[in-house]
Amino acid sequence: MAAIAKRVEQSRALQSERDKGTKIHCNAQMTPRFIKKYCELDASGNRILELVTNRLSLSARTYTRILKVARTIADLDSSINICDQHVAEANQYRSLDRKTS
């Protein structure tokens, strides 16, 4: 449990540093400008998100929600870049969310 708490603490510190001087306090509050700046995907992550978007006909809102969750997952991994595994995991959470709603 302590290891998880430490990862979350480090992730929040990364977000705080990145969002310093703005009104944003967490990744969920990112505006389109911040999403464009901080949610850039690598090539494989981009391919995965395009594939999912096209196959499932995702809305723009869902697309950006996946990006924000993927950014948080990357922060938990202390990763500067969002990679394919972060996008895939974020999409799985979206699928789980739809099943419980």
Task: Yes or no: say if 78 and 10 are a contact pair by the CB < 8 Å rule.
Answer: yes
- 31-73 pLDDT, tens digit per residue, is 999 999 999 998 999 999 999 999 989 899 999 999 999 999 9
Residue 98 has pLDDT above 80, yes or no: no
Q: What is the pLDDT of residue 1?
A: 83
CA neighbor of 69 nearest in space, from 89, 98, 46: 89
Q: What is the pLDDT of residue 32?
A: 93
Mean pLDDT of the chain: 90
CA neighbor of 37 nearest in space, from 78, 77, 80: 80
CA neighbor of 42 nearest in space, from 4, 73, 86, 72: 86
Confidence of residue 16 (pLDDT cuts 50, 70, 90): very high
Q: How far apart, in Å, are the Cα atoms of 95 and each of 2, 12, 14, 98?
A: 28, 25, 27, 5
Prediction pTM value? 0.88
